[in-house]
């Protein structure tokens, strides 16, 4: 049985990736950091009906020894480093923690792999946030980086140390530069989920308005289920490499609000207002990816449309609130 170790197992991508790997017959291990709130740890895996099928190993990205131990115990053929402080806004409030977890944490996993599992194929969760300030109409693997947040700076460190370990030690280390991807399992603080949850609350009479930040930013939004497939494909290649993963369509936050409210027959303009409190010290205004290389080399194409994804998220949030009120 092929074995995989996934960091960030309790997050959105950790859940969908685990599901994919289990479907493919892998034995899946997750690196789990201790929490006093035990009941929330497996929430997303439970949602997908796979919580009992993933084996958890205690560890933290900031503790090199725990990662070495996890690798010694699990002896994985594939390592997916998805763990991070991943919320961009928080990275201004906790910049050093973000640097430690999101940047040095990735380095810890690579170093642990070099010492304890040098033959394993390694995936680093890089991000379109690394492109930051717009420099080209469409961002590809050849676009220069210009990070605009402590999070993006940390991701850039993680990205380059992945490239460096590949080139220095010949490790099979690949980096997926993934654009925003969402799902009903997206954290509630991210903008799509905040909006679909807000729509559900307003529709059910639990809230009257939705207070937002910058409505003019645009993002290239795909579905997490499609994007974890790209991660897996990267690790099946003979040679490691870096790949942009995106849909090639960009949509503003404003338009996303319009689509989400329209799902329940409402006009967003009657409910959405903006507040400085949700604006960022430095913004990434536009992201639009060119995933030509992933299409040609990996045979990867997205299958779920933006509208279908938002519809699925609104429906799931309505169902959640209905279940909670029963």
Q: Provide the binding-site residues for ligand GDR, judged by CB under 6 A.
A: 86, 88-89, 127-129, 179-180, 189-191, 194, 212-214, 217, 219, 253, 278, 280, 283-284
Write the CA distances from 210 to 110, 193, 197, 263, integer angstroms.
42, 12, 10, 16
CA 153 distance to own-chain centroid: 16
Residue 213 near which of ligand GDR, ligand NDP, none (CB within 5-8 Å, type-dependent): ligand GDR
Q: If DSSP states are collapsed to H, E and C, what string results for 12-60?
A: HHHHHHHHHHHHCCCEEEEEECCCCCHHHCCHHHHHCCCHHHEEEEECC
- Report if residue 18 touches ligand NDP, rule: CB under 6 A: no
Write the CA distances from 93 to 11, 63, 149, 158, 306, integer angstroms.
21, 22, 11, 20, 31
Q: Point out the catalytic residue in the list 91, 126, 127, 149.
A: 127
Q: Is 325 a catalytic residue?
A: no
- Report if residue 10 touches ligand NDP, rule: CB under 6 A: yes
Cβ-closest position to ligand NDP: 11
Strands 181-182 and 173-178: unpaired
Q: Is 80 a catalytic residue?
A: no
Nearer to ligand GDR, 62 or 215 (CB): 215
The H or E element that residue 322 is part of is helix 306-325
Nearer to ligand NDP, 26 or 221 (CB): 221
Distance (Å, rounded) from C-alpha 47 to C-alpha 57?
20
Distance (Å, rounded) from C-alpha 34 to C-alpha 50?
20
Of residues 169 through 228, those in contact with ligand NDP by CB under 6 A are 178, 180-181, 187
Q: Is 127 a catalytic residue?
A: yes
- Least Å from the CB of residue 93 to ligand GDR: 13
Nearer to ligand NDP, 177 or 202 (CB): 177
Q: Which of 5, 26, 57, 83 binds ligand NDP (CB under 6 A)?
A: 83
Q: Point out the catalytic residue in the list 129, 165, 227, 312.
A: 129
Residues assigned a catalytic role? 127, 129, 151
């Amino acid at each position: 049985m092929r074995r995989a170790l996934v960091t960030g197992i309790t997050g959105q991508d950790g859940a969908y990736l685990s599901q994919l790997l289990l479907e493919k017959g892998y034995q899946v291990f997750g690196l789990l950091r201790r929490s006093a709130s035990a009941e929330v740890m497996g929430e997303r895996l439970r949602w997908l009906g796979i919580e009992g099928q993933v084996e958890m190993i205690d560890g933290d990205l900031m503790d090199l020894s725990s990662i070495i131990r996890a690798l010694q115990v699990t002896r994985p053929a594939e390592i997916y480093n998805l763990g991070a402080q991943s919320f961009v806004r928080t990275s201004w409030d906790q910049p050093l923690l973000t640097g430690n977890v999101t940047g040095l944490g990735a380095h810890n996993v690579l170093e642990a792999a070099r010492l304890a599992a040098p033959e394993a194929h390694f995936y680093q969760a890089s991000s379109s946030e690394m492109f930051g300030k717009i420099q080209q109409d469409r961002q590809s693997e050849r676009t220069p980086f210009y990070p605009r947040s402590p999070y993006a700076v940390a991701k850039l460190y993680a990205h380059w140390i992945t490239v460096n370990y590949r080139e220095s030690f010949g490790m099979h280390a690949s980096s997926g530069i993934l654009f925003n991807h969402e799902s009903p399992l997206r954290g509630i603080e991210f903008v799509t989920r905040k909006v679909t949850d807000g729509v559900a609350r307003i529709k059910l009479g639990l809230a009257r308005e939705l207070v937002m930040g910058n409505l003019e930013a645009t993002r290239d939004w795909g579905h997490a289920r499609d994007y974890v497939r790209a991660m897996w494909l990267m690790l099946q290649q003979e040679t490691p490499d870096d790949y942009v993963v995106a849909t090639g369509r960009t949509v503003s936050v404003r338009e996303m609000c319009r689509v989400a409210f329209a799902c329940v027959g409402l006009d967003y303009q009657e409910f959405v207002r903006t507040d400085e409190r949700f604006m960022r010290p430095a913004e990434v205004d536009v992201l639009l990816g060119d995933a030509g290389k992933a299409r040609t080399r990996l045979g990867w194409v997205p299958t779920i449309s933006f509208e279908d994804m938002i519809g699925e998220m609104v429906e799931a949030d309505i169902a959640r609130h209905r279940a909670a009120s029963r």
